[in-house]
């Protein structure tokens, strides 16, 4: 196998891994954040190399800032859908069996 063919396979593999990670973070953001935090904790344990410590600090998830832009969802007030009772012309949907 020639070097150029190996290089093409490496670039394609890198693109596939990047797209899988991007999709995983979009589909399961909480699970991805948990795994990212676990990897960060594992890499920042005492006795690790400088490169591992730097990678662990880089992977550590950012803390919640308390504004509605960070998406923490702790208070439940960010982007909450309005209830039907908030609209005077809105009615709740009721289902009846036949």
Instruction: Please spell the DSSP secondary structure of 17-46, one letter per residue.
Output: HHHHHHHHHHH-HHHHHHHHHHHHHHHTST
The CA distance from 32 to 62, in Å, is 13
**pTM surpassing 0.85?**
no
**CA–CA gap between residue 36 and residue 31 (Å, rounded):** 9
Q: Residue 1 has what pLDDT?
A: 74
43: how many CB neighbours lie within 10 A of its CB?
A: 19
pLDDT in tens, the chain (98 residues): 788 899 999 999 999 999 999 999 999 888 988 999 999 999 999 999 999 999 999 988 776 556 665 555 556 565 545 554 555 666 677 888 88
């Amino acid at each position: 196998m020639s070097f150029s063919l190996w290089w093409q396979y490496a670039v394609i593999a890198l693109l596939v891994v990047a797209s899988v990670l991007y999709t995983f973070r979009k589909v399961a953001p909480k699970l991805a954040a948990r795994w990212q935090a676990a990897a960060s904790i594992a890499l920042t344990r005492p006795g690790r190399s400088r490169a591992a410590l730097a990678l662990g600090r880089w992977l550590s998830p950012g803390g919640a800032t308390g504004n509605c832009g960070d998406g923490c969802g702790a208070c439940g007030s960010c982007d909450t859908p309005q209830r039907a009772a908030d609209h005077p012309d809105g009615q709740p949907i009721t289902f009846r069996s036949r």
